[in-house]
Amino acid sequence: MQCQECGEIARDVALRYCENCGAKMPAPPPGVRRTGARPALPAERSAAPARAALPGDETDEQPEIAPVRRVAREPEHAEPEAPRGPPYDGPIWLAHVPAHSPSVLGVGLLAVALVLSILPFFADVGPLWSLVTLAGGWLVVARELRAVGERHALVDWVPDSLLHPAVPALYAVVVVVLAIRMLGVGITPVLWAGGAALIGFDQYRKVYVGEDGWSRFFDPRQLRVGMAPVALAGVALCLLSLFLSWESRPTSAAVRGSSGGAPQLRVMDQTPASSDVVYNLLDMPHDAGWDQPLSVFVALLLVGVLGLMALRPEVPRPEALRFAPLGVLVVCLAWMIFNGVLSWGPVLFLVGLVATGFVSVYGSFSFSREA
């Protein structure tokens, strides 16, 4: 501001009177803020070097503050999300099952039955067939997960050569025979029956049905043609006989003890009660055919004879295959002689074996005539 009386330039625009003559200073123009800093003279402005504005300096014009935009930060190590498939619209009871597969659920039921069989009051299938059930179920689960593209650390390293369609087909036959062996009333029989039913039904429509399925090799209707029903009845009778007693049981308990001992110290020879809750509920003999060594293996051989009879006529057969049923019958007969005695179980087993053997021999001669 400049004084109108003496022409002195005021160093501070906030002053109302001139510092030189004391005259009243004019009012500052609008827009100029009154600060305590004295404006620099033209000579001082040219001599003073320019400096950058500091945060504490006050200027006449306030710069416009740009609006702050908040940008959402993306996670630095975010992994790309896997593509999601279509929403599941199948049965509710398979919604939370891996691969939504009944076979996986069936293997889970069998695993629970095997865990319960560790306890002494639950029925079991023995250590060998428990190991077979676990190993086969592991391969079936790996095949089901790989079919739908799901990954799991326990099964991802399984080679594709072990996931042939024959694996679930044979596994279904094995668990069905084991489920027959475990028939009874109790928790473990129900688990075995449910697991075998789920696996058998699921693998039937996945492995057997279809143009590329095993239906092009096997036809169960062949078991109704010719003498095949006789063999089917014979195998059924053999399996039924395994639920009966295969050992001679004394009519009365024998008394043993020392001649000089007191009568109270004499011990009665009694048949030990089975710890199997299934046999106790059904009052089944503890020495049934299923309890004999290799009984499940013999049952699988007899079921295999039915499988050979179910082959379609147009399927080419090796020359040595026609002697396979006879070999199975010889093995089963030797097993019966080694384990059986003169009781109802071995007698019925022999009757069924003779019927199956007659049909097998007849089929072998018929095959040789056709060849």
From the list 268, 295, 296, 271, the residue with the least C-alpha distance to 283 is: 271
- Averaged over 132-157, what is the pLDDT? 86
pLDDT (average), residues 188-201: 93
In the structure encoding, which two tokens stand for residue 46, read together? 């040219």
Q: Please report which helix (H) or strand (E) contains residue 195, including its range.
A: helix 187-203
- What digits encode the pLDDT tens for the residues 222-242? 888 888 889 899 999 999 999
Which residue has better confidence, 119 or 57? Answer: 119
Strongest mean pLDDT among 12-26, 46-60, 87-101, 177-191: 177-191
pLDDT top residue among 267 and 333: 333
pLDDT, position 207: 87
Q: What is the predicted pLDDT for the residue at 24?
A: 73
Give, to the nearest 10 degrees, the angle between helix 127-148 and helix 102-116. 150
Q: Which amino acid is at 323?
A: F
Q: Residue 285 — pLDDT band, cuts 50, 70, 90?
A: low
Sign of CA pseudo-dihedral 218, 223, 228, 232: positive
Tokens of 348: 């019925």
Provide the Cα torsion 75, 80, 82, 83; round to 10°.
Answer: 110
Comparing CA positions, the residue from 145, 312, 138 lying closest to residue 213 is: 312
Q: In angstroms, how far apart are the furthest CA atoms of the chain?
A: 154
**pTM passes above 0.75:** no
Contacts of 37 (CB under 8 A, 6+ apart): 12, 58
DSSP H helical ranges for 242-316: 277-282, 295-309
pLDDT of 58 over the 60 cut? no
Task: Kindly tell me if the per-residue pLDDT of 311 is higher than 90.
Answer: no
List beta partners, residue 24.
17
Which of 123, 163, 128 lies closest to 286 in space, CA to CA? 123
The residue with tokens 């006050």 is 58
At 144, list the tokens.
């089901």
Tell which residue, 116, 110, 100, 101, has the closest CA to residue 134: 110
Lowest-confidence segment of 24-28, 171-175, 361-365 by average pLDDT: 361-365
Which residue, 142, 143, 139, 119, is CA-closest to 131? 139
Among candidate residues 215, 194, 216, 195, the one with its CA nearest the CA of residue 205:
215
Distance CA 353, CA 331 (A): 11
Q: Which of 274, 247, 249 is nearest to 336 (CA)?
A: 247
pLDDT tens string 75-106 = 555 555 555 556 766 678 788 888 888 999 99
Query: Which residues are CB-neighbours of 41 under 8 A, at least 6 positions away?
Result: 9
Measured distance CA(6)–CA(32) in Å, rounded: 23
CB of 215 within 8 A of CB of 329?
A: no
Cα–Cα nearest to 134, from 99, 174, 187, 181: 174
Beta pairing partners, 185: none
Kindly state the tokens that stand for 89: 């619209």
Q: Are 113 and 195 spatial neighbours (Cβ–Cβ below 8 Å)?
A: yes
pLDDT of 245 > 70? The answer is yes
How many CB atoms within 10 Å of residue 43?
8
Q: Of 16-25, 142-151, 253-262, where does the model show the most confidence? A: 142-151
